[in-house]
Structure 1
Amino acid sequence: MKHTADRMIALLSLVVLSPVLLAIAVTVLLSSPGPALFAHERIGLNGRPFRMWKFRSMRTGADEELATFLREHGRENEPLFKIPEDPRITSVGRVLRRWSLDELPQLWNVVLGHMSLVGPRPQVLAEVLLCDEQERRRLTVKPGLTGLWQVSGRSQVPWKEAVRMDLRYVERWSLLLDIRILARTLKAVISGRGAV
């Protein structure tokens, strides 16, 4: 039921939001050199990699600069670390991130079955490799476009607390919990609390 509902809602959302998606894509293209969309490899259900789509919110080549910035902040081994006032983010990208509009293309990942609307956020391989066996239990469900820790502070939530919330979701999943998280997601996006 969850997987069917996810795909149907995501497909309907893509159709309804298509004018908005097109407007965002054009704005990104006009604002800075590079493509409108950015594909990033993430780790999904049972450790399988997949390409996750986002609207590009950083300058082209930002991925190659990440290791340098993490070293400068002494955070090479800290999962989910966000660089304060990240200089790689474009002016349009800051607006997209503030309202989580950069995440909208992930509705296509939901349609393809790589992701769910609600679940633990998908990590990159380097972050997964830093997890212990208990923490990797997050990979026993599909990653989500939103999740429990996204509606509880987003980037302000410490890594260990984010993992604890994800594991709580895995253990206590219910359709009602998904509905509650989706409702709280709307509130979190509107408030912009914790957005980076």
Structure 2
Amino acid sequence: MNAPLTGMDIGRQSAPVTRADGRPREAYLLGQRLFKDTLVRERKRADRLNASFAVIVLDRGHDTDGDWGSVLRAAGLVKRDGDMLGWLEQGTVLGLILPEASRDLTHKVVRRLRRHLAADPEAAGTASLSTRVYVHGARWKDTGAHLPPVDLLIDAFVPVHTDRAADLAKRAVDIVGSVLLLALFAPLMLLAYLSVRMTSPGAALFRQVRIGRRGEPFTMLKFRSMRADAGNALHNEYVTWFITSSGTQPRSGGEVFKLTNDSRVTAVGNLLRKTSLDELPQFWNVLRGDMSLVGPRPPLPFEVDKYQPWHRRRVLEAKPGITGLWQVNGRSRTTFDEMVRMDLEYARTRTLWGDIRILAATPFAMFKGAA
């Protein structure tokens, strides 16, 4: 049986599949555009309901002449009524979405799929077929599965419609702005550099690996505000609580959700932090293209490991920035979930004029925070 590979890209194709008991049924094969839309909707549904799901990807690579009939028969036999089968790339890459799938169920489906292919006498042309599994949701965090996230699949196959002119304009503002601000703040940066070096042993510049757009790591620069021998245990403990307890903290309207009275911070470092002057070296990160003047703050790798699935979108959808919507609207008085929602709102609605307004509001937010 050769399932048709032509037709409306946004429609469904229906292919007859025989059950193990010999009874026929219809297996719906979603067209490329419809399947990608379904994949994105399932990701959003899972985030909204704190659910998990998996996607099995069947890929022929560059072999576009192979017969998909045996693969479609096998996929139709293993899919449940609520699962969705369709093209990620027409005639080349097939996907099977498994809502609410656990690790055991997903591996069981993969094993059954391979058994059906091995038993099909017409499956000789599937030697080039590769099988990969992508997962999404908290259920997969502690299973030791180490499988790639669905977000990587979406990033690879679902086109992001961006305004290239707006992106070029934003990058131009980043380049011009970072050069001008580096020149403007050069005396202050020199003073901060000397103050750190003269008041505590160790390098004045602090280099730290952060997670940038689409999960790519980069080295972020700051003026060192803590003792050079300070450990990370206190910070890690606080950030873990801040992320995992978001929304459950008591609220009276005057809370400050940040680590205070940190004994690791030096006197000069405390002043630099209060005025955000420790962030000035990041204009070099902006000039390099690692960061933007405006965007979500880049997290540490261990912080990303604590994220819920929907939190991860803040490092996927916008380049990290020195300042952002959270800094001017909430700063340290918002929960982590509220901060992420602001970051996602920025990514969804960002404009050049919006960036300029955030930049203009940042000095006031800095001095208000330092007061």
Answer yes or no: same fold by TM over 0.5: yes
Separation in structure 2 between the aligned mates of residue 94 and residue 12 of structure 1, nearest angstrom: 26
SS at the partner of 1:83?
coil
Separation in structure 1 between the aligned mates of residue 319 and residue 171 of structure 2, nearest angstrom: 10
- CA-to-aligned-CA distance 1:45-79 (integer Å, 9 cap, x gap): 110000000001111122x2x225655x6x64433
Q: Please, which moves more after superposition, 181-190 or 105-114?
A: 181-190
Separation in structure 2 between the aligned mates of residue 134 and residue 153 of structure 1, nearest angstrom: 20
Separation in structure 1 between the aligned mates of residue 312 and residue 261 of structure 2, nearest angstrom: 30
Q: Say which of 295, 298, 301 aligns to 1:125.
A: 301
SS at the partner of 2:303?
helix
Q: Say which of 171, 194, 200 aligns to 1:32.
A: 200
What is the letter of the counterpart of residue 78 of structure 1?
Answer: F
- CA-to-aligned-CA distance 1:152-179 (integer Å, 9 cap, x gap): 2322221010001001001111111111
Correspondence 1:89-100 to 2 at 5 A: 89-100=265-276
- 1:114 equivalent to 2:290? Answer yes
Correspondence 1:1-196 to 2 at 5 A: 1-62=169-230, 64=231, 66-68=232-234, 71=237, 76-79=240-243, 82-139=258-315, 140-192=317-369
What is the letter of the counterpart of residue 356 of structure 2?
Answer: I
Separation in structure 2 between the aligned mates of residue 2 and residue 87 of structure 1, nearest angstrom: 39
Percentage of matched positions with identical amino acids:
48
Larger Rg: 2
Relative to its length, the structure with more helix (as a share) is 1
SS at the partner of 1:61?
coil
Relative to its length, the structure with more strand (as a share) is 2
What is the letter of the counterpart of residue 365 of structure 2?
Answer: A
Output the TM-score relative to the length of structure 2: 0.49
Give, in angstroms, the shift of residue 19 of structure 1: 1.5
What is the letter of the counterpart of residue 350 of structure 2?
Answer: W
What is the letter of the counterpart of residue 168 of structure 1?
Answer: E
SS at the partner of 1:120?
coil
Aligned equivalent of 2:249: none
Separation in structure 2 between the aligned mates of residue 13 and residue 70 of structure 1, nearest angstrom: 32
CA contact (8 A) 2:242 2:335 kept: no
CA RMSD, 1 decimal: 1.9
CA contact (8 A) 2:211 2:300 kept: yes
Change (3 A) 1:6 1:132: same
SS at the partner of 1:78?
helix
CA contact (8 A) 2:240 2:303 kept: no
Separation in structure 2 between the aligned mates of residue 174 and residue 184 of structure 1, nearest angstrom: 15
Separation in structure 1 between the aligned mates of residue 319 and residue 170 of structure 2, nearest angstrom: 11
Separation in structure 1 between the aligned mates of residue 332 and residue 228 of structure 2, nearest angstrom: 23
Q: Unaligned stretches of 5+ in structure 2?
A: 1-168, 247-256
CA contact (8 A) 1:42 1:51 kept: yes
Separation in structure 2 between the aligned mates of residue 15 and residue 112 of structure 1, nearest angstrom: 16
CA contact (8 A) 2:240 2:306 kept: no
Separation in structure 2 between the aligned mates of residue 86 and residue 191 of structure 1, nearest angstrom: 20
What is the letter of the counterpart of residue 151 of structure 1?
Answer: V
Give, in angstroms, the shift of residue 188 of structure 1: 0.6
CA contact (8 A) 1:77 1:130 kept: no
Give, in angstroms, the shift of residue 93 of structure 1: 0.7
Change (3 A) 1:134 1:57: same
